[in-house]
Amino acid sequence: MRPIKIENLLSEDELFFLYDHVLKSNGWIMSGKSENLTNQTNKNFSNCPQLIVKCNQGNIYNSALYLYGQSLIFRLKKLLEDKKIGLYPKLNRMWFNISYNGANNHWLHNDGSENSQTILLFLTPVWKTGWRGSFYVDGKEFTFEPGSAIVFDSKEFHTGEEPISATYNWLRLTCNIVIDKQ
């Protein structure tokens, strides 16, 4: 599967609601450890806030956000059927990441194997192109556009881009969802 961008997956109202409620959620950690990396790297820790909803081991830490994530998978699956693109049905892992200028939490990595797909959601409701914050999959740039999603094979190498300092207090909020066949 080639990486695909789905624009306007989330409405403006949904983005503002999500941004507010996710940032106010309990359970944010500052040094999230990446789990079960398939590639060898010494960059296993995130230096930025991370809210784990469901981890690779199957533990669900926020049931409401887990249900929301699974419903997004069903929504995306229906949208992609029209384009003849298959999407796996099972939410394996879901977490939110915040990045900001100077955070230094982006590095080249992959999320899984041949049997998984990754969905990255751009959740900051206000974002200007000049603030950077793009996302790269196998060298292809996807600019940060509020309400958009990128879907790609989890085995593909990817990384995010640190935003510039002048984002006027908007944090770069993304959600990483890894889905499996079953």
Please write the tens of the pLDDT for every residue from 111-156. Answer: 887 889 999 999 999 999 999 999 999 989 999 999 999 999 999 9
What is the tens place of the pLDDT at every residue in 8-61?
A: 999 999 999 999 999 999 999 986 555 544 444 555 555 688 999 999 889 999
Range of weakest confidence among 29-38, 96-105, 141-150, 163-172? 29-38
Pairwise pLDDT comparison (100 vs 53), residue with the higher score? 53
At 37 the pLDDT is 46
At 33 the pLDDT is 53
Would you place residue 82 in the very low, low, confident or very high pLDDT band (cuts 50, 70, 90)?
confident
Residue range 78-87: mean pLDDT, rounded = 92
Residue range 151-176: mean pLDDT, rounded = 93
Could you tell me which of 101, 105, 71 has the C-alpha nearest to residue 170? 101
Contacts of residue 61, defined as CB under 8 A and 6 or more positions apart, other chains included, come to 27, 52, 53, 54, 55
From residue 182, alpha-carbon distances to 8, 23, 87, 116 in Å are 28, 30, 11, 10
Q: For residue 142, count CB atoms less than 10 angstroms from its CB and return exposed for 0-12, middle for 13-18, buried for 19 or more.
A: buried
Total-model pTM: 0.91
